[in-house]
Amino acid sequence: MKKLLLLSFIFSSFFSFSQENQNLSIGFESNSQYYLDDSKTGDFTETNRFRSNNYLKIDYTLNHFYFGVQLESYEPKALLNYSPDLNKTDLGLYYTGYKTEKLDITVGHFYDQFGSGLILRSWEDRQLGINNALKGIRVKYSPTNYIELTSLYGNQRKGFDTSNGAIYGFDTDVNISDAFQLENSFLNVGFSYVGRTQDNSITAYQFNHLTNSFATRLDYSKGNFYSSVEYVAKEKDAIIISGQTKNAKKGSAYLLNFGYAKKGLGIDATFRRLENMNFYSEREASGNIYNQSIINYLPALTKQHDYSLTNIYVYQAQPQVSFQDPTLMKSGEIGGQIDLFYSLKKGTALGGKYGAKIAINTSYWSGLKGDYDYANTNYDTSFLGFGENYFSDFSIEVRKKWSKQWNSIFYYVNQSYNKRYIEETFGKVTTNIVVGEATYKLGKGKSLRFEAQHLWTKDDKKNWVGSTVEFNVSSQLAFYINDMYNYGNADASKKIHYYNVGGSYIYNAHRFALNYGRQRGGLLCVGGVCRYVAESTGISASVIMSF
C-alpha cells in the first residue's frame, strides 16, 4: 500500500507543471476482505485473515506520445481463489507509445482483440483475476480511412512474470462500404493470424513448436437487418489432459450471428460451434482454474442473469477435449441462443398507461456428436451433430411501470444443467426459478427496491429462496440487505443462510463500499467467463477513485 501511495505522489508531482496538449489520469482501486470463522461456511484455516488486492493506474499523454504504468499490490496476500502468481507489490503493467491519425506504436504491455476474440483477446477483469496483457510491441497502421492493419509480438502476462510461449499476430480490417461509398449498407471484412511458439519436447505426437491459427470474418448490415460470420482454424496442437500429452489434433470455431431491430422490436440469434479451441500461451496451462495464459476469448453464449438464484447453475463454454473415462468423452460444444425483445405500446390494453417491455431468451448447448476412441484419446466428429445435452435455458422477463412511483420486474427461468459434462462430476439438474422485483420512488433521489426469488428443483441441493431490500438514500448513498437460503437441502447442516448487508457511497468520481456476510461457494461469472470461489464469511471493503 505504501508503494502505491508513494508512486501516486511522485507522478502527481512530476506532471503538475502546466503544459498544453497533455493529460494525466490516475485511477486507484482497492478490494479488501477480513475472513472470519463461521460454524456454517467453515472456519478460516489459511494464513492471513486480512487480504487485499490493490491497483494504481497512471496514464499520461503529451502531444502524440503516451505513457502508462499499473502498480499492483497483493498484501499480505491476494484475496481467496486468486492465482498464487499474484503476490507482493510490483509493477503489473508499463508501456509507452506514439499515436497519430494513421500510426499507433506501443512498446510494453498492451491489450488487443481480433474480431470477436475467437482467435485473440487480451483483457483485464479484476473481479475474475484475469489480466492476460501482452508484453512486447504492437503497431497499428491505417493507410486509408477504410483499412486498418495491426501487427503484434509479445509474451503474455502471468502474475508479475510472462509466459514461456511467444505470440505473433496480424489483423486486417477493410470497410468495404467506405471503400466503395456504399450509403445504404455496411460491409466489413477481416482476416487474422495468431501464432504461438513454444519448445516442443514431446516426440510421441506430431505437432510443431509453432502453432498457427487463422481467422476470417464478415459483417453486413442494411436497414434494420444485421449479420456477422466468423471462422477460425487452428493447426494441430497437443491435447493435454491432467498434465499429460495424450494426442495432437486440429481445432476450429464457427460463429454466426444475425438479427433484426426496429423501434419496439428486436430479434437476435447466435450459433456457435467449437472443437478443440482451447488456446494457451503455454500448453501446460490447459484447463487451469485461474484463467491464466488464455489467448482467445470463448465466453458462454447464454443469458447473463442478474439475480443470485439464477446464477447458481451457470454454464461455462466447453471448447476443450476431455477424456475423463469411457463414459465421459468430449471435444467441444455446439449450440446457440435466441433473444426476442418487444415493447407494448403505451395506451394499449396490455401496455396500459406507461407501456411494458418483454424480453425472451432461449439457449441450448450440447457436445459434438462423433466417434470417440478412449484408448487412443482420439475422435472424429460430425459437423452439425448434436451429442449429449450440456445446458439449456429459457427465460422471460416483463418490465412494467405502473405509476410515476412504482416499477416492477417479473422474471421466470427454466434451466437444465448437466453436471456430468460441465463440471465432470455427477448428476443432472433441472430448475424453475421465479423472481419478482419492485422499485418505489420516494422523491428527491430516494427509492426502495424489493426483490423476492425462489428456485425449485428435485435435484442436487434442492430448493432455494432469496430476497433483497435496497434503500437508495440519494444518488450517492445506498444500503442493502439480502439473503439466499438453501432450505431444501437434504443435509440439515448445509441449510445455510448466505446473508449480506452493506452499503456504498459515491462522491464525484470516487466510490466507497462496505459489506459483511457470507459468500456461497461455486462459480462467479462475469460476461460469460467464470472462476471458482470458495465458501467464506467476512467483512469486505472496496474503494475506487479517479483523478
Whether residue 402 contacts residue 354, with contact meaning beta carbons closer than 8 Å, is answered with: yes
pLDDT of residue 15 exceeding 60: no
One-letter amino acid of 166: A
Same domain as 156, residue 97: no
Residue 171's Cα: distance from chain center in Å?
A: 23
Q: Please give the span between the terminal C-alpha atoms of the chain, in angstroms, as a whole number.
A: 18
Higher pLDDT, 243 or 112: 112
pLDDT of residue 19 exceeding 70: no
Range 218-231 average pLDDT = 97
Per residue in 37-90, pLDDT (tens digit) is 999 999 999 999 999 999 999 999 999 999 999 999 999 999 999 999 999 999
Type and span of the H or E element at 219: strand 210-222
Range 175-198 average pLDDT = 95
The whole-angstrom separation of Cα 130 and Cα 133 is 9
Output the pLDDT for position 202: 64
User: Residue 309 — φ and ψ, nearest 5°?
Assistant: -75, -25
Domain boundary among 274, 298, 322: 298
Same domain as 406, residue 308: yes
The whole-angstrom separation of Cα 499 and Cα 481 is 7
Range 446-474 average pLDDT = 97
Range 278-296 average pLDDT = 89
pLDDT of residue 191 exceeding 60: yes
- Exposure on the CB side of residue 234, measured as CA atoms within 13 A: 29
Range 116-134 average pLDDT = 96
Same domain as 119, residue 151: no
Within 8 A by CB and 6+ apart from 492, the residues are: none
Same domain as 362, residue 319: yes
Same domain as 96, residue 32: yes
Strands (E), 374-509: 378-401, 406-418, 428-443, 446-456, 464-472, 477-485, 497-507
Whether residue 105 contacts residue 97, with contact meaning beta carbons closer than 8 Å, is answered with: yes
pLDDT of residue 17 exceeding 50: no
Same domain as 345, residue 335: yes
Q: Of 75-89, 97-111, 343-357, 437-451, which range is least confident?
A: 343-357
Same domain as 309, residue 293: no
CA angle centred on 265, ends 264 and 271, rounded to 5°: 155
Check residue 168 and give left, alpha or beta (phi > 0: left; psi -120 to 50: alpha).
beta
The whole-angstrom separation of Cα 7 and Cα 91 is 11
Output the pLDDT for position 447: 96
Q: What percent of the chain has pLDDT over 70?
A: 96
- Give the 3-state secondary structure of residue 412: strand
Mean pLDDT across the chain: 93
pLDDT of residue 114 exceeding 60: yes
Output the pLDDT for position 296: 96
Same domain as 153, residue 136: no
Tell me the CATH number at 292. 2.40.160.10
Output the pLDDT for position 106: 98
Domain boundary among 298, 315, 343: 298
The candidate with the shortest Cα–Cα distance to 130, out of 151, 111, 107, is: 111
Q: Residue 286: pLDDT band by 50, 70, 90 thresholds?
A: confident
Other beta carbons within 10 Å of 534: 13
Same domain as 122, residue 238: no
Range 404-416 average pLDDT = 97
Whether residue 332 contacts residue 382, with contact meaning beta carbons closer than 8 Å, is answered with: no
Cell of 333: 460444444
Q: Would you list the DSSP string of 260-304?
A: EEETTEEEEEEEEEEES---BSSGGGTT-TT-TTB-S-----S--
Whether residue 315 contacts residue 408, with contact meaning beta carbons closer than 8 Å, is answered with: no
Output the pLDDT for position 270: 98
Same domain as 248, residue 169: yes
Output the pLDDT for position 9: 47
Output the pLDDT for position 284: 84
Strands (E), 332-377: 332-344, 356-373
pLDDT of residue 5 exceeding 60: no
Check residue 48 and give left, alpha or beta (phi > 0: left; psi -120 to 50: alpha).
left
pLDDT of residue 477 exceeding 80: yes
pLDDT of residue 18 exceeding 70: no
Output the pLDDT for position 203: 65
Output the pLDDT for position 541: 98
Same domain as 350, residue 251: no
pTM value surpassing 0.85: yes
Q: DSSP character for 78?
A: P
Same domain as 203, residue 304: no
Range 292-319 average pLDDT = 95
Whether residue 64 contacts residue 90, with contact meaning beta carbons closer than 8 Å, is answered with: no
The whole-angstrom separation of Cα 189 and Cα 174 is 5
Within 8 A by CB and 6+ apart from 55, the residues are: 27, 28, 29, 30, 70, 71, 72, 92, 126
The domain of 424 spans 2-140+299-546
Domain boundary among 253, 280, 298: 298
Q: Residue 201: pLDDT band by 50, 70, 90 thresholds?
A: low
The structural domain count of the chain equals: 2
Output the pLDDT for position 424: 87
Q: Residue 523: pLDDT band by 50, 70, 90 thresholds?
A: confident
